[in-house]
Amino acid sequence: MLRKALKACLSILVVLLAEKYRPKRLEDVQGHDSVKQRLRRWIEAWLKGKKQKPILLYGKIGIGKSSLAYALANEYKLDAIVVSPSQACDASHIKNLMPKVHMRRNLWGQLPIIIFDDIQALSGQQDRGAIPAVIQLIKESQIPILLTAEDPWDPKLRDLREKVELVQMRKLSSRQVLAIIKRIAASEHIKISDEALKQIAEASDGDARAAINDLQVESVGYRERQNDIFATLRTIFKTTSLKSSVAKIRSSDTDLDTIKMWLDENIAKEYEKGGEVAKAFDYLSRADVFEGRIHSRQYWGFLRYVALLVAAVSVAKKEPYHKYTKYTYPQYIKEMFKTVMLRRKIKEVCAKIGRRLHLSPGEVWDDFPIYGRVVLSDKEKAKAFYRLGDDELEFIESLIKAEAALSSGQRRSGRRF
């Protein structure tokens, strides 16, 4: 159960498609051609040793401001030091940046760039003194500084505005958003009609992040799958024909594992005679055995038998029951719903770790057993370095334990996810 739930967390929500497909290079960023050109000229001048005014990229949310800044740093192999509002950063943090930057420059030999991502949020109540510190840094610094903001005419940014070159990024057209989500749908093999993609793009109002999130929700295809699984259950439970059950399983969009779990949950609700229930469970457990063999021997030919044994649940009964049964969700799905909070927490923790290591939360999660153990190896240091609280460290510990239990379970059963 837990294994399934964790796996589902991982594949559905922790790996946000918007993060996974964050542009790596300028050419991956849809639109904004003149802005890209400006940024190229700006950074190439810096690389030739010509000091340039910092650039403040501004425009509506989800159009690629941060993406453009990161892609520039990545493409020109700059050593990016990112300051973002989630770091709860104050004046002293900003003042301490320069010595750190110099040290890193000596160490890596790369041109550093400081990216103040979402400078408006940085200027909030909590971070009093942050903006004057940024202005001071701009005056003294000899390295490229890139800033992003939604609205540079925010009065809090008045003094800063004069010290930077304002570069506007226009709202994306729905055609551009469509191009972004189309590409993602194709590489994720998401089955979705062109019409549905168009609707998402139009509803996004130029916010690519929102559109990608919508696409992700669609890809989970929650409602359709629900209908599909209920129809599959009805066929298996209400007929005594092996042939129709096999056919239904084959044509179903729901994978066999999920069908098995639903059957497992509902057999005892549908069948009333003890013998039938036992027989039905027996078929399911034999299906499990064959599945285990598929994984351990990589012999996919057995898949047929698995489907057949699952379908055999329909012949465990003598007669169909002419009654209405309210089929219920498998326990693991209930668990998953309960874990929305868990998933959010995983993301937060991974974001904190990733921020320090210049990794996306998804990348941290991919190798969580490694990063988690590194963090736990020196908790005090980790608290300060990653800005993790005691509860978060405890949480990491519990995840690592769960992971260890899962991987030993996997070894025992010879199965993979």
Give contact residues for Mg ion (rule: CB under 5 A).
65-66
Residue ranges in 157-196 that form contacts with ligand ATP under rule CB under 6 A: 172, 180
Q: CB of 348: closest distance to Mg ion in angstroms? A: 17
Quick check: 212 binds ligand ATP (CB under 6 A)?
yes
Q: Which does 31 bind (CB under 5 to 8 A by kind): Mg ion, ligand ATP, none?
A: ligand ATP
Q: Are 385 and 100 in contact (CB under 8 A)?
A: no
From the CB of residue 83, how many other CB atoms can be counted at a distance below 10 Å? Answer: 22
Quick check: 122 binds ligand ATP (CB under 6 A)?
no
Q: Give the tokens for residue 217.
A: 């929700």
Residue ranges in 61-100 that form contacts with ligand ATP under rule CB under 6 A: 61-67
Comparison of 39 and 236: residue with beta carbon closer to ligand ATP:
39
Q: Where are the alpha helices (DSSP H) in 221-329?
A: 222-238, 242-251, 256-270, 274-297, 303-311
Q: CB of 71: closest distance to Mg ion in angstroms? A: 12
Q: CB of 92: closest distance to ligand ATP in angstroms? A: 25
Pattern 2-21, ligand ATP, x by CB under 6 A: ----------------xx-x
Output Rg (C-alpha) for the chain, integer angstroms: 27
The single residue among 8, 14, 29, 185 that binds ligand ATP, judged by CB under 6 A, is 29
Q: Which does 209 bind (CB under 5 to 8 A by kind): Mg ion, ligand ATP, none?
A: ligand ATP
The single residue among 3, 9, 30, 185 that binds ligand ATP, judged by CB under 6 A, is 30
| 416 three-state secondary structure | coil
Q: CB of 65: closest distance to Mg ion in angstroms? A: 5
| 221 three-state secondary structure | coil
Q: Which does 64 bind (CB under 5 to 8 A by kind): ligand ATP, Mg ion, none?
A: ligand ATP
| 116 three-state secondary structure | strand
Measured distance CA(263)–CA(55) in Å, rounded? 59
The single residue among 12, 23, 98, 163 that binds ligand ATP, judged by CB under 6 A, is 23
Q: Which does 382 bind (CB under 5 to 8 A by kind): Mg ion, ligand ATP, none?
A: none
Q: Output the CA–CA distances (angstroms, integers) from residue 237 to 255, 258, 262, 267, in the order listed.
A: 17, 16, 11, 8
Residue located via tokens 């994306």: 172
Which one of the spans 28-36, 152-160, 311-319, 338-346 is the region binding ligand ATP (CB under 6 A)? 28-36
Q: Is the torsion defined by CA of 260, 262, 264, 267 positive or negative?
A: negative
Comparison of 207 and 265: residue with beta carbon closer to Mg ion:
207
From the CB of residue 231, how many other CB atoms can be counted at a distance below 10 Å? Answer: 14
Q: Are 253 and 322 in contact (CB under 8 A)?
A: no
Q: CB of 79: closest distance to ligand ATP in angstroms? A: 20
Nearest residue to 178 (alpha-carbon basis) of 193, 162, 161, 157: 193
What are the residues binding ligand ATP (CB under 6 A)? Answer: 18-19, 21-23, 29-31, 61-67, 118, 148, 150, 172, 180, 208-209, 212
